[in-house]
Structures are given as structure tokens and as C-alpha cells.
Amino acid sequence: MSSLEHIYRYIDDHFDDHLERVRTLVRQPSISGEGVGMAETAAMVAGLIAEAGGSAEIVPTAGWPVVYGEINVGAAKTLLVYGMYDVQPVAGEKWSVPDPFGGHLLEMSNLGLCLVNRGVANQKGPLASFFNTLQAFRAVGQPYPVNLKFMIEGEEELGSRHLPDFVAQNRERLKADYAFFAHFSQDLTGKVIMYLGVKGILFLELIARGGDWGGPTSRGIHGSNAVWLHSPTWVLVHALASMLTPDQKHVLIDGFYDDIVPPSAEDEALLERLITTFTPETELIRDDARRFKYDLTGVPLLRKYLYQPQLNIDGIISGYTGEGTKTLLPHEARAKIDIRMVPNMRPERMLQLVKDHLARHGYADKIEVVVHDGYPPGKAGLSANPAAQAMLKAYRDLGFEPEIWPHLAGSAPFYLFTETLGIPVVMGGLGQGGRQHSPDEYATVDGIRMCEKSIAAFLLNLADQS
Amino acid sequence: MSSLEHIYRYIDDHFDDHLERVRTLVRQPSISGEGVGMAETAAMVAGLIAEAGGSAEIVPTAGWPVVYGEINVGAAKTLLVYGMYDVQPVAGEKWSVPDPFGGHLLEMSNLGLCLVNRGVANQKGPLASFFNTLQAFRAVGQPYPVNLKFMIEGEEELGSRHLPDFVAQNRERLKADYAFFAHFSQDLTGKVIMYLGVKGILFLELIARGGDWGGPTSRGIHGSNAVWLHSPTWVLVHALASMLTPDQKHVLIDGFYDDIVPPSAEDEALLERLITTFTPETELIRDDARRFKYDLTGVPLLRKYLYQPQLNIDGIISGYTGEGTKTLLPHEARAKIDIRMVPNMRPERMLQLVKDHLARHGYADKIEVVVHDGYPPGKAGLSANPAAQAMLKAYRDLGFEPEIWPHLAGSAPFYLFTETLGIPVVMGGLGQGGRQHSPDEYATVDGIRMCEKSIAAFLLNLADQS
């Protein structure tokens, strides 16, 4: 038996224990947006690094701490493991399990037995799987094939606000040959999907308030006054409406599309290959929708999805939203919006365009723009990326031919690797998980096992390449 | 001393007791929108009628009960006292007193000692004052000058949903010569204001949901999908924006202004007199605003305020509205809106116009229209209205020359008197109260005393006219 086969067998034989280790990590709440359980979770992650034979440090930032770790086995190459220990809030959500942090196992239709828990897909499940894989290496007496560094942040769900500072201040000790983000890569049908990058994001809050320009200034007043007093709620509604066409296909902010570049030759080739396996129907099922915004399919649909930026309303609130009626002229209205940026777009420029738009439409004195977070896109590539090649080979070793995407429609601060640290990065791992940011976030139990095996293969492939 | 002077003196001598009786009524929560304390409050009101020597009945409706009562003293004329025992919600509001239902006394700047409590202005304070006045009549041995009937509803804040049914079903026993709604009529400066009618209202909820047309159908999904999936939140924003110009001055719903009629000759004369005492600055202070929507003053400003209908957003909610960030494409968005209707407008027609507007703009399959309540305007008039004449004389007897408004900008179901029962109606009473529907709703303590006296004079004037 090869050393990889030994590790596979160990994982199979000890999977009940491994699954319990995953459940232990996901049961610990770590809601960065609400400040729930953050210190406890950071300590658990530091403990996992120490257990894997490393040195671990909980490094304070201006926000939640980063867990940093090192395991130097004297190997030729070093892998920087990036991860996140924070999760999304669950307030107001309806889950099928009694407790979103209960570590509940649930038989889900078409998926089999699943671990249903906030953060199990994004990203504590894959993170725990990584440490389980290291445990298997140690148990079978197989040295780690590469040196490891860990940078596990607690603010990914807050837009990784302080990670850029951390990276800038720790550039020396973050030196590595490549970076890795563990991720359940299989879709609902079991197909493996590989994303070679991410979009950028700018997350803003627009707050309209009464003031010198008009409207009630410090409290909601009787609704009958709307006939002669301005409403900040209408201001916000009109300001938002001015930014997007009613068919929701075209953003009306001047310059919004100016920085877009056409897909690279490698991306074009990937798109052509992608449409041979890409199934729009699977995407619709995953997203609980019945049709796309565009009457397109194939490469044209994918071009919209991957190479077109968008403006989204994540949330809006103003006035009386309880039961029954209350006639009110509100003094304030708030909208959380995000702009998803495609390659070559920059958050600082988008922010300026939004502000310019509001000013040009007469909203400068009526609407405050609060920046919650923002970072540019990150492209990792494939042919010149040894980490991506090692992951691709791991999939193939385990019998999976992945569907390769030029990048993800979602966002992560990969620019810190591709731009700031200047090293190749890959995200991957077998396994099925979903409903990130939504109720009933899940990972299939069997997928967790496969994730561990794929990470073992990936680590060995990395060393083999060297 | 006249019998009126006896009553005045009794009120002065026993005002501490009377104030406690007001506090007792307002301390009892009665939030119809949330179903809090409704049965208890109905029983208290029935008790007050019984204590005044009447028969009282708590009459079930399809919603909260109506408290009906009769006191027949063999007088020539009968007054129907209309009132409300329900109040607005307080959830999420910040009050200066520890408890919005604490019956707290607070020294307020420019107002003196005030009773600060939800409902003390709208309308439990005036209602309790009315019963205190009756107590004074009895205590000094003065028979009530008119027979009394009471119709005290528990759904005024819900748009008096079931009062029309109650009136239709009880037309016989509601027979009276005139109707009265007790009300603190003095503004911040102490000026007495008399309103000879009310606007109508149509209160709707617009609910945009994902469906066959697009968008997520049953749960919020990851925000990155907004690039290729529709958003119900954007649908609601665009639908609302399509209904009003960005300057908030003109409603864009076809036919919205068609039914408006010019002010009557009596109204025109009242407007001309009104501008000699009307102070826009006082209105702005009351409404916590710095300027009106229109650069107008005098009669032109009042014409906008009183004779122009408006569309207001009372509340809007969708998606993630908590702390921090959560990128979400919501599956649902809701807005509560109201249309204030001026004389000759009808709620059923306005509802049709809103639905037609949504259909014409392509929202018929995307937005559900829920009717919360609606009733037409009610005009009571002055010269041909003996109840209004009796109240006007009461003010003058007590040394106040009122500022007379053709009607109120707010709404109440006065059409039930002016149209359905076909009797004159007046609302009035001395006293200062304010911040209805807002935090720190208040009534001045001295105003409660003056209210009681003015009601005594009103009742005696009514009988004198006959």
C-alpha cells in the first residue's frame, strides 16, 4: 500500500471520530457580526494547530483576532493555509433542525445524511477536515509533505476588514510557496467544481435621514404629514431606483462598467470547456429560483454571471414593519447594498462612483454612505499555478474530472495572496456542502470523508511537483 | 354661582383625584395591533360608563369588541360619544420615561408638567376626561343636559376595521342628534384648534416575492446570485419609485387626482380666516422638521396640506437588516403604504388605481396588494352643525377664540357619522397633547383639567341650543 492508501484507510477506519471532531468545531458558535463565541472559537483553532504539532498564536487585530500557526517539517516547500473561523448570523432564520449550532445530523432529500449547522459549509467543515487529514498523516506515521503555515481569520463574514493590515504587518512570516483555502467542491449532483479565483466586493450602507433639506430629523412622526414634509424613505427608494434599470439588467451608475476587461485567453478556453458540463438547471435548483434574469444559455449566460458586475440590495429597512398598521413618516431609512466586482475593478473607484452618482442626483446632503468593507477581485489561474495543478491531480487521482471555472461569482480576499503576497492560491477539496448564508447550511457526511482524502492527495501532490 | 361654575369649582377642587383616574386608564396597555390588554381595557371603559349611571355592553366584533353604552336622562336631545380605547404600539421606540405605560409625570420644556404615556393624547386622555366631567355633574347634583350614548371602539389604530359593520348592525340604537369625539385641541402655543372633518385613508401592504417571473422563491440566497437572478427587493423599490416623483410632490398613479373637488365656499372662507392665526413654524416644531416640501405659505400652503392627497411609505423591510454585513439576495420585500384622501375621494377607487398602476408597469405577478384598512373622508361643517356651534361657544365661554380648520390632515372614520348615520359630528375639548404615534406621547396636566371644564360647557351649550 502507498502512503496515500494508508492515509485513506486510516480516514475510513476512524471516520466516526473525525466526524465528531468536525461537529465539535461547528457546534461552537462564532458569529463575527454579533460578537458571539469568537474568543472560544479562536482558541479551539489554535488548539487544533498545536495538536497537529505546530506553534499557534492568537494575534489581536483591530477587530477579531487572526489565528496564526507554523509547522516546519524541513520540507522544501511551504503551504500557507488560509481559513476562517467566523460564520454568518442566524437571527430570524427558520431551520429544519432545532438548533443551527446543534451539530445535528439530518437525512436530506437527494443528499443523504448531512451535518446541518451554520458554518459547516462556509468554512468550518472544510477547515476541520483539513486538521483531520493532518491527524491521519500523524497516525500512520507519514511526515507532512510540505511545511505548513496557518492564517485563520475571524472576520471573513465582515469582509475581512483587518486581514489586509495583518498581512501587511506579517509579510515576512507569511512567506510561503503557495496558499490554500479548503472548500467542499462538489455540487448537488456530485460534480467537482474548481474555481480559479474570486470576484471582489464593495459592501455599503446607505442611510437617508431628515435634515436641513427636509423631513423629520430625529423621530418618526404622524404619517399625515407626508403631504407637506419630505420623507427620507422615499429619498432612499428613489436613490436606489436611480441606480438600476427596472429590468435589473443594467446598473445606471456612470462609469460602472468602464474598468471591465475581456476574459483572458485561458479564461476563454475554460469557458468553452465549462459549457460542456455546466448545467443551468442545477444552479436554479441550488438557488431556489425558476428562471434566470437573462434568456441566455451556454457561454453567453456564463459571461453575464462571471464577467458582469452587479449592484445588489442585501437589506432595506425604514419605519414601522411590525404587525398591523401604524401611519408613520419615518426620519431614517437604511439600505445595505453590495457591488460585486469582476477582474480589473477596484473598490475605491466604485465607492467614488456611487458617491458621484448620489451627488449628481441631488442626494449628497440626504444620504450618508457607510463603507462596511471592500476588496478587489483575485485571479489565481491554472496553467502557471502549481497549487491548482496539485489539486487538479488530487481530484483525478480520486476519480473525479472537475468542472473548472475561471473564477467564483462570490468573493473572498484572495487578492491578498495573488497581489499582496504574490503567491499562487487554490481553493478546493472534495465534499458536498451548501446553503451558505442561508438556513439549513449543510455538508454531506460522506463528503467530509472525501474532503479529507482529497486534501491528503493534494498535500502529497504538492511535494511531488517540487 | 351658575351650575357650570359649580362644576368648574368641583373639577378644580378634585383635580388630583381626576388626574389619578386618567392615569389609571392610560396605564392599562391596549395595543390593538399586538393584541395587548384589549379585554382589560374594554372592561375598564364599560366600568366607567356604568359608574356614570349608564348601561354598558362589551359587544364582540370580528376584531376587538366595541364598548356600547346608554344613559337616558329623559333629555330632549341625545349625544353619541364616539371614542377609542386602543393605542399605537411602542416596540422599538425610545421614550424619556422608564415605561410608556407607567403613567409618568414629567416636566417638559415649554409645556410644564405632563402626563407622558402611550395613548394619553390619542385618545384615552380625552376619553378619561369626559368621564371625569360626568363625575363632576353627578357630584354637584347637576343632571346631564343631554342623553348619552357611547360607542368606544378598540380598532381605531387598525383603521376601525370592524366599526362599519358595527354601525350598520346597530343603526337603530345608535340613533342620536349629534356625535362627539373628545380631543385635546390646543397646540404647542396654547392656541385652540378646531377641525371640522377628517381626511380618508387607504392603508396597504405591498409584498414582492420571487416566483415564476424570477428571483428566489422561498428563502434568501447568496447575494452573488443577484448578477443573474432577479431580486424581489429591487422590484419593490422600482414599483414604489414609479408611483411618486423624486421631488415627492406628485403621485404618478394614473387618475390619482381625478376625484378632487375644490374647497367649498365655507371652506374657502375658513382658509382665509385660518391664515391670520396659522403659524407654519409651530407646525415644523411639532413635526420635528426644518422646512416644508413646498416653498409656499398662507392659503397656498394650506391648500396643499388639506386638499391634496398623498402617498406615504409607513414602513419597508427586506433582507438582512441586522448589524454588520451579510450578502443576501432576499426572496421577499414588504412595504406598508398609505394614501391620504381629501374630500370626494373613495378608498375602493384608490385601491383599483394602485392595482392598475402595478399591472400597467408589469408588477401584477410580482407584487401582492394586501388591504389593511380604508375609509373615505368625513366633512362635518360649521354653520349647519349644532354640535360644532356648541363646542365653539364652549371655547369662547372659557376665553378662547379657536383657529378653525376645514378639516384635519389626519384620518378617522367620521364618515360613519356624516354619511352612514347622517348626523352632525364635532371633535373638541381644551387641553394640550401631542406626539401621537411617536415616543413621548404626552398631555399637559393642566390641559386635562381644562378639557374637563370645556366638555362641561359643551354639554350645557348643546342643551341650551335645543
Share of chain B above pLDDT 70, in %: 100
Q: Answer for the pair B33, B39: CB distance below 8 angstroms, yes or no.
A: no
Q: Cβ of B3: how many Cβ atoms within 10 Å?
A: 15
DSSP run (H or E) holding A237: helix A232-241
Kindly tell me the sign of the dihedral angle through the C-alpha atoms of A114, A116, A119, A125. Answer: negative
Pick from B93, B218, B224 the residue to mutate for testing the A interface (most A CBs within 10 Å): B224
Q: How confident is the model at residue B160, as a pLDDT?
A: 86
Pick from A86, A240, A316 the residue to mutate for testing the B interface (most B CBs within 10 Å): A316
Q: How confident is the model at residue A466, as a pLDDT?
A: 53
- Asked if B295 reaches chain A (Cβ–Cβ under 8 Å), the answer is no
Q: What is the distance between the alpha carbons of residues B321 and B140, in angstroms, rounded to a whole number? A: 59
- Asked if B62 reaches chain A (Cβ–Cβ under 8 Å), the answer is no
Q: Answer for the pair A152, A67: CB distance below 8 angstroms, yes or no.
A: yes
Q: How confident is the model at residue A325, as a pLDDT?
A: 84
Residues 6+ apart with CB under 8 A from A281: none
CATH 3.30.70.360 segments of chain A = 200-260+308-375
Looking at residue B177, what DSSP letter applies? S
In chain B, the residue whose alpha carbon lies closest to the alpha carbon of A31 is: B324
- Asked if A298 reaches chain B (Cβ–Cβ under 8 Å), the answer is no
- Asked if A229 reaches chain B (Cβ–Cβ under 8 Å), the answer is yes
Q: What is the pLDDT of residues B103-130, one digit of tens each?
A: 999 999 989 999 999 999 999 999 999 9
Chain A partners within 8 Å of B207 (Cβ): none
Residue B460 buriedness (CB in 10 A; 0-12 / 13-18 / 19+): buried
Q: Cβ of A99: how many Cβ atoms within 10 Å?
A: 14
Residues 6+ apart with CB under 8 A from A169: none
**DSSP 3-state assignment of A159?**
coil
Q: What is the distance between the alpha carbons of residues A205 and A338, in angstroms, rounded to a whole number? A: 9
Looking at residue B416, what DSSP letter applies? I
**DSSP 3-state assignment of B39?**
helix
**How many residues are given for chain B?**
466
In chain B, the residue whose alpha carbon lies closest to the alpha carbon of A297 is: B228
**DSSP 3-state assignment of A149?**
strand
Q: Cβ of B443: how many Cβ atoms within 10 Å?
A: 30
CB spacing of A214 vs B290 below 8 angstroms: yes
Q: What is the distance between the alpha carbons of residues B441 and A326, in angstroms, rounded to a whole number? A: 15
CB spacing of B89 vs A226 below 8 angstroms: no
Instruction: Specify the CATH number for A200-260+308-375; select among 3.40.50.2000, 3.30.70.260, 3.40.50.1580, 3.30.70.360.
Output: 3.30.70.360
Task: Name which of B210, B237, B289 is nearest A214 (Cβ-Cβ).
Answer: B289
CB spacing of A290 vs B221 below 8 angstroms: no
Q: What is the distance between the alpha carbons of residues B236 and B239, in angstroms, rounded to a whole number? A: 5
Residue A95 Cα, gap to closest chain B Cα (Å) = 11
Q: How confident is the model at residue A159, as a pLDDT?
A: 78
Q: How confident is the model at residue A158, as a pLDDT?
A: 85
Q: How confident is the model at residue B466, as a pLDDT?
A: 53
Q: What is the pLDDT of residues B153-199, one digit of tens each?
A: 999 988 788 999 999 999 999 999 999 999 999 988 899 999 999 99
CB spacing of B222 vs A314 below 8 angstroms: no
Q: Answer for the pair B337, B201: CB distance below 8 angstroms, yes or no.
A: no
Q: Answer for the pair A270, A405: CB distance below 8 angstroms, yes or no.
A: yes
Residue B397 Cα, gap to closest chain A Cα (Å) = 32
Q: Answer for the pair B365, A350: CB distance below 8 angstroms, yes or no.
A: no
Residues 100-159 of A with CB under 8 A from B: 157-159
Write down the architecture of domain B3-198+377-465 according to CATH: 3-Layer(aba) Sandwich (3.40)
CA distances from A431 to A189, B224, B284 (A): 11, 21, 62
CB spacing of B229 vs A312 below 8 angstroms: no
Calculate the CA A44 to chain-centre distance.
Answer: 21
Q: What is the pLDDT of residues B4-39, one digit of tens each?
A: 999 999 999 999 999 999 999 999 999 999 999 999
Residue A198 Cα, gap to closest chain B Cα (Å) = 11
CB spacing of B227 vs A324 below 8 angstroms: no
| Mean pLDDT across chain B | 96
Residues 357-396 of B with CB under 8 A from A: 361-362, 372-373
Task: Name which of A222, A246, A340 is nearest B227 (Cβ-Cβ).
Answer: A340
**DSSP 3-state assignment of A380?**
coil
CB spacing of A89 vs B330 below 8 angstroms: no
Mean pLDDT by 10 residues, chain A (466 residues): 93 98 98 96 98 97 97 97 97 95 95 97 97 98 97 91 94 96 92 94 97 97 96 98 98 98 95 93 92 96 96 98 91 98 97 98 98 92 95 97 94 91 96 93 98 98 84
Task: Name which of A211, A310, A320 is nearest B227 (Cβ-Cβ).
Answer: A310
Q: What is the distance between the alpha carbons of residues B288 and A332, in angstroms, rounded to a whole number? A: 13
Q: What is the distance between the alpha carbons of residues B326 and A336, in angstroms, rounded to a whole number? A: 9
Q: What is the distance between the alpha carbons of residues A242 and A364, in angstroms, rounded to a whole number? A: 14
Residues 6+ apart with CB under 8 A from B404: B193, B194, B196, B270, B273, B274, B382, B392
Closest CA to B455 of B16, B1, B18: B18
Given the cut 0.90, state whether the ipTM is greater than it: no
Per-residue cell: A266? 485561458
Chain A partners within 8 Å of B90 (Cβ): none
In chain A, the residue whose alpha carbon lies closest to the alpha carbon of B250 is: A227
CATH 3.40.630.10 segments of chain B = 3-198+377-465
Cα Dmax for chain B: 83
In chain B, the residue whose alpha carbon lies closest to the alpha carbon of A333 is: B316
Q: DSSP of A90-147, one letter per residue?
A: -TT---SSS-TTS-EEEEETTTEEEEE-TTTTTTHHHHHHHHHHHHHHHHTTPPPSSE
Per-residue cell: B460? 350645557
Residue A184 Cα, gap to closest chain B Cα (Å) = 16
Chain A partners within 8 Å of B233 (Cβ): 313, 316
Q: Answer for the pair B445, B114: CB distance below 8 angstroms, yes or no.
A: yes
The amino acid occupying position B113 is: L
**Bridge partners, residue B150, by sequence:** B69, B81
Residues 6+ apart with CB under 8 A from A123: A83, A84, A156, A181, A182, A183
**DSSP 3-state assignment of B106?**
strand
In chain B, the residue whose alpha carbon lies closest to the alpha carbon of A224 is: B410
Pure H helices in B120-171: 124-139, 163-169
Q: What is the distance between the alpha carbons of residues A275 and A92, in angstroms, rounded to a whole number? A: 38
